Amino acid sequence: MGTQPHLLVEEGDLTDIALIPGDPGRVDRIASHCDEAETVAQNREYKVVNATYEGRELTICSTGIGCPSAAIAIEEMANVGVETFVRVGTTGALQSDIEIGDMIVATGAAKNEGTSKRYEDVSYPAVPDYDVLSALVDSAEANDEDVHVGPIASDDAYYAETDEYVADWEDAGMLSVEMEAAAVFSLARRKGLRAGAICTVDGNLVEGTQKGTDTEDDELPEKAKNNVGRAIDIALEAATEL
């Protein structure tokens, strides 16, 4: 297997587990929580770093925004030997009792996106691996962190999430909406690999506090920025058990 065309990595360059934020800037933030870190490659929306956390070697790779770019990252990391993927992202709440800064561990992702449909029928479930899901929940409990655990939605069209869509997702019991998990879960399952996701809430679509509505210069509200760090710690602790 030669150099992957987007991540610019080869077999042997990465570890067996990858933490995958969407934002390339969050790669450095995750790396700052680790003991050692070294940049492996950077191209387009993909920044790839190898790091060590409490003796566990791991890879951190950004996926960019949305399922298409996330699928490329999963495909190319799988090609060079990565076997477990943990999404560390942000998400918009769909239930009124979920607040900005809360954390959600996904038990599944509704396929409101087009990428997974190119791989399989929409009736096939986009679900995390049980061991990854359990490790995230157990890590949160060990850190005395409260997390919401339940289904989320993955959507392609950030600016087309209408009131009707939001009401339907809310009525269906979806906890939040983001833009990558459905493809990550589906591809990992199809390849016999493992995936899971923990996301920090950056707005509440039901309450009308979408990301960006109450910030001036920053993408995330202050509480969400602070709690992204806590979600990173949970994901890193989970990685030591996987």
Residue 167 maps to a domain = yes
Cβ contact 14:48 at 8 Å: yes
Q: Is 9 part of a structural domain of the chain?
A: no
Residue 1 lies in a domain: no
What's the DSSP call for residue 31? H
For residue 156, is it within any domain? yes
Residue 110 domain-assigned (yes or no): yes
Q: Is residue 2 part of a domain?
A: no
pTM reported for the whole predicted model: 0.96
| Pairwise CA distance, residues 50 & 58, whole Å | 6
- Note whether residue 234 is domain-resident: yes
Provide the number of structural domains found in the chain: 1
Whether residue 2 contacts residue 43, with contact meaning beta carbons closer than 8 Å, is answered with: no
Phi, psi (5° rounding) for residue 10?
-125, 170
Domain containing 62 — which CATH number? 3.40.50.1580
The parent domain of residue 114 ranges over 17-241
Number of H helices, E strands in the chain: 6, 9
Q: Backbone phi, then psi, for 153, in 5-degree steps?
A: -120, 145
Predicted pLDDT of residue 213: 54
**What is the H or E stretch that residue 104 is in?**
strand 103-112
The one-digit pLDDT tens for each residue of the chain (242 residues) are: 799 999 999 999 999 999 999 999 999 999 999 999 999 999 999 999 999 999 999 999 999 999 999 999 999 999 999 999 999 999 999 999 999 999 999 999 999 999 999 999 999 999 999 999 999 999 999 999 999 999 999 999 999 999 999 999 999 999 999 999 999 999 999 999 999 999 999 999 999 987 655 545 567 778 777 789 999 999 999 999 99
Q: Which one, of 221, 206, 121, lies nearest residue 168 by Cα?
A: 206
Q: Helix axis angle, 130-142 relative to 222-239, nearest 10°? A: 120
Task: Give the list of residues 6+ apart from residue 213 with CB closer than 8 angstroms, or none.
Answer: 203
pLDDT value at residue 221: 74
